[in-house]
Amino acid sequence: MMGAMGNFDVLPDSVACLILSKLKNAQMVAQCAMVCHRWKMLSQLVDTLAFESFKLFEKKVDKNSKASCLEAIVTHMLLNTSGIRNLKISYHPVVWPWIPNDYFCEEKVCNWLRHVNMSLEQLTLVDPNRAKPQPEKLLRLSECKKLQWLNLCYGMIPEVPSSCQRFEQLRTLYLDLIAISDESLATLVDLSPLLEDLKVNSCKGLHSPNLSALNLASLEFANNLDVSTAMIHSVSVNAPKLVKVSLSHVEKLVIDGSALLELDLLCHVRADIRELPALTNLNIGGESWALDSLTHLIRLATNLCCLHVDAVIDWKYPVQIQSILHHLLELHSMHIGADFFECLQAGVGTGPLGISTMSLPRLASLSVVVGCGSHSCILVLSTLLKCAPMLHTLTIDAEDLRKSMDNITFFTDILGLQRDHPHVKVTLVCPNSLV
């Protein structure tokens, strides 16, 4: 640092300040501020500060209250700045067990927020408070009128104080590991008229949130059951501009899907959606799927480009492949996991849903996972190859083929398919036992 200082002296303030802002790490800024008067002055001009406990002292300090240690550093430095736009204060206890009641004092946090309330645009606050709600903090946050981007981690929001103002400029809201009620979440969303991006990660206390957000484009409920212990029963959203939804461990989704482009569902979701006319990407994975929920979604999505199904299906029964895929004229790439592939049956005859009426004119890339190398599986592959003239890659993952040693027919049949469709590059992943 000292070596660099000599060179920094010749830089104009504006440039030096820009470099200082890029440091982000508060400790480095602090060291700089100690070196000379000029840096002390410049430290007041930085607009970006990041205080991260694990970078600053996690390994060095071994006191009972680490939060108060970081608190002192933040107070000393932050209150000497003017015009902070991006602020990250992260006390993330990485040591287990956590020290109980080791979190920032609400009054201190309120002072920080008051100090930056004219300039703050982006805030990450990780404060491992699992003991009591701190409603004042929310009030101070709502007074930061330029706040556009907010990530809160830990804490409790059982209710939003009635005097909470609107988050007029807030576009992005990420909530991690917060104990929050359905009503509080809905109120926060109501108070944020410009909200475009909402991510709720492993928050406790949610049962059936019902959100209304006119500008919301992206919604994610990443529900890690290890941390939050309960499924979310349903998520209802009234958001006409919603283009991307990603859910995990949510039992039911109620939306108007008319603008939706991307839908990502991990673990069984019953979808109460009337139409998905614009959807291009559908990604279905995880446990406990009911086959009819899955096929319902695929049937709704008439404009699909990418379909990725890697779901564990609870009750498997045969479904005719053309009844599920015949409408997918835009489909470009498709992945079919083992369970879904096992359910698919090639149809017979040339009726309205017969093979000859199915066409996947744009399908270029197909991958399937084969668990059972039966004759019916070869028929399905053969059907797909016949109705997809643009197909150039077919990947068959037969690594978990059951009883594959008994059944060499499967592999000779695959070779037959390759012979009949020489323009398709077929890649076969064989079981280890076979090699």
Ligand X SMILES: *[C@@H]1O[C@H](CO)[C@@H](O)[C@H](O)[C@H]1NC(C)=O
Interface with ligand X (CB under 6 A): 40, 76, 79-80, 114, 117, 143, 145, 210, 212, 236, 254, 372-375, 402-403, 407, 409-410
Closer by beta carbon to ligand X, 10 or else 405: 405
> Is the CB of residue 233 less than 8 Å from the CB of residue 252?
yes
Report whether the peptide linkage leading into residue 422 is cis, meaning its omega lies within 30 degrees of zero: no
Taking the complex as a whole, the smallest distance from the CB of residue 236 to ligand X amounts, in Å, to 4
Closer by beta carbon to ligand X, 26 or else 388: 26
Q: What is the CA radius of gyration of the chain?
A: 28
CA distance 255 to 240: 9
> Is the CB of residue 280 less than 8 Å from the CB of residue 254?
no
Encoding tokens for residue 150?
């907010």
Taking the complex as a whole, the smallest distance from the CB of residue 375 to ligand X amounts, in Å, to 4
Taking the complex as a whole, the smallest distance from the CB of residue 358 to ligand X amounts, in Å, to 23
Closer by beta carbon to ligand X, 92 or else 402: 402
Encoding tokens for residue 205?
């206390």
CA distance 237 to 91: 33
Sheet strands side by side (includes 210-212) = 210-212, 235-238, 252-255, 270-272
- According to DSSP, residue 162 is labeled T
Closer by beta carbon to ligand X, 46 or else 391: 46
| Type and span of the H or E element at 409 | helix 409-420
Closer by beta carbon to ligand X, 59 or else 402: 402
> Is the CB of residue 323 less than 8 Å from the CB of residue 354?
no
Closer by beta carbon to ligand X, 234 or else 333: 234
Q: Residue 330 burial (CB < 10 Å; 0-12/13-18/19+)?
A: middle
Taking the complex as a whole, the smallest distance from the CB of residue 71 to ligand X amounts, in Å, to 12
Taking the complex as a whole, the smallest distance from the CB of residue 407 to ligand X amounts, in Å, to 4
CA 53 to chain centre: 25
> Is the CB of residue 293 less than 8 Å from the CB of residue 310?
no
> Is the CB of residue 57 less than 8 Å from the CB of residue 47?
no
CA distance 348 to 194: 53
Closer by beta carbon to ligand X, 59 or else 76: 76
Closer by beta carbon to ligand X, 117 or else 320: 117
Taking the complex as a whole, the smallest distance from the CB of residue 81 to ligand X amounts, in Å, to 9
Instruction: Give φ, ψ of 239 to 5 degrees.
Output: -150, 95
> Is the CB of residue 116 less than 8 Å from the CB of residue 143?
no
Taking the complex as a whole, the smallest distance from the CB of residue 93 to ligand X amounts, in Å, to 25
CA 357 to chain centre: 38
Taking the complex as a whole, the smallest distance from the CB of residue 43 to ligand X amounts, in Å, to 9
Taking the complex as a whole, the smallest distance from the CB of residue 360 to ligand X amounts, in Å, to 25
Closer by beta carbon to ligand X, 237 or else 363: 237
